Amino acid sequence: MTQVECQARQDAVWVETQWTERGALGGSTARAAKGCIRYFPSANARGAETAVIFMHGDVLSGSISHAREAYVKSSSRSIQLARAERSAKEIGLPVIRIGRPGTYGSTGASHLRERRMPVEAYLMNAAVDAIKAKYGYQRIQLTGLSGGGGLVGALLTMGRTDIDCAVVGSGAVSIKTRARLLDSKEAQRGQDQTGQPLSAVYDPIDHIAGVRPDGQRRVFVLGDPLDTAVAFESQREFQQKLVSTGTPATLLTALAVDLKHHELASEAMRVAAWCKSGTPDTQIQAWLAEGKKK
Among 57, 34, 52, 50, which residue's Cα sits nearest to residue 171? 57
* pLDDT for position 184: 86
Q: Is the pLDDT of residue 52 over 60?
A: yes
Q: Would you give the distance in Å from CA 123 to the centre of its chain?
A: 12
pLDDT digits (tens, 9 = 90+) for 234-274: 999 999 999 999 999 999 999 999 999 999 999 999 999 99
pLDDT digits (tens, 9 = 90+) for 100-142: 999 999 999 999 999 999 999 999 999 999 999 999 999 999 9
Question: How do the domains of the chain map onto residue ranges?
Answer: 41-290
Mind giving me the DSSP string for 125-184? HHHHHHHHHHHT-SSEEEEEETHHHHHHHHHHHTT---EEEEEEES---SHHHHHHHHT-
* Superfamily of structural domain 41-290: Alpha/Beta hydrolase fold, catalytic domain (3.40.50.1820)
Please say whether the dihedral angle defined by the alpha carbons of residues 1, 124, 262 and 207, taken in this order, is positive or negative: positive
Cα distance between residue 252 and residue 56, in whole Å: 19
Backbone angles phi, psi at 39, to 5 degrees: -140, 165
Measured at the CA of 78, the angle between CA 53 and CA 154, to 5 degrees, comes to 25
pLDDT band at 63 (very low <50, low <70, confident <90, very high): low
